[in-house]
Homo-oligomer: A and B are copies of this chain.
């Protein structure tokens, strides 16, 4: 049976929301079990509190926690008995098949690279969230922050890794890949993107450049960017969605008419907020390491912990690593 390691002490709302999310996940789907890493007693108490009595959630006791302000590589090296390091070791040893954490992004990435290790030939693993599109599906954004300075070769690999994910998890047979640029024309872009565009034209999945305006349009399955730009695009989208909802609540509170209207529209508004909030649908896959790994938002709550666990399960079920290997080899064969 599939076994997923869950970092019990990563993120702002750990361990309670983490444990709660685990309980929700096993109630929602069959066919897997969870090992939560962290303080045995606290996790046990929480499992009891959330009424969990089954045997699909176990605890792996650890004594240390890696904080968000710690230097990632040092923390990974020094805190050998942290919930994060132990979870990654379970993954490395094959005692678990996938791993998920809401802890420090830097530490999760460093741990993935140094403990779990990169897939053969992969230069730089990438962080790849799935964003909701207006057409109802999702679009993968690779990289959204793991690698701020990139070479063309890295971008090509991000494309291969994300295509593997699109096939394994999203069931997209022929992912449409675009490069994030400042215009759709091939000659648009900075030096990196212009070179990447000319190199990637040989890839049948490559559909050219895309402007940041159309990331959420649903016309593309994978958007490739260097980690700096991907991060800017992602955060700008988040900030704008927040700004719209903040203006909406200002407006609603400023007139009785708007208040009445908002009351009627509440279910619709909630559905929109939910659809736009990509953190509700799981986390960012960390692609290019040897085993399935997901990084959740630091402020994540039980619902997205649950979604993230099921996301890891579908990465395992879909044989993600094999499909990513195939995509990487295609590139090498070409």
Contacts and interface: CB of A to CB of B under 8 A. Distances in A.
B236 A149 contact: no
B134 A243 contact: yes
Given A134-B246, A212-B235, A265 B262 contact: yes
Contacts of A236: 212-213, 215, 232-234, 236-237, 240
Contacts of A248: 268, 272
Interface string A123-153: 0000000000110000000000100110000
A2 interface: no
Interface string A101-129: 00000000000000000000000000000
Contacts of A247: 134, 272, 275-276
A189 B180 CA distance: 18
Contacts of A257: 264-265, 267-268
Given A236-B240, A247-B276, A258-B268, A212 B231 contact: yes
Interface string A41-74: 0000000000000000000000000000000000
- Candidate in A191, A240, A251 with the most chain B CB atoms within 10 angstroms: A240
Contacts of A228: 181-182, 189-190, 193, 229
A169 B296 CA distance: 43
A332 interface: no
A241 interface: yes
B258 A239 contact: no
Contacts of A182: 145, 148, 227-228, 231-232, 235
A271 B247 CA distance: 9
A261 B251 contact: no
Interface in A246-294: 246-248, 250-252, 254-255, 257-258, 260-269, 271-272, 275-276
A213 to B, nearest CB: 4
A191 B149 CA distance: 7
A244 B264 contact: no
A217 interface: yes
Contact of A258 (B212, B241, B265): B265
A56 to B, nearest CB: 36
Interface of A: 133-134, 145, 148-149, 180-182, 189-191, 193, 211-217, 225-229, 231-244, 246-248, 250-252, 254-255, 257-258, 260-269, 271-272, 275-276
The 4 closest A-B pairs by CB, nearest first: A261-B264, A261-B265, A212-B235, A251-B268
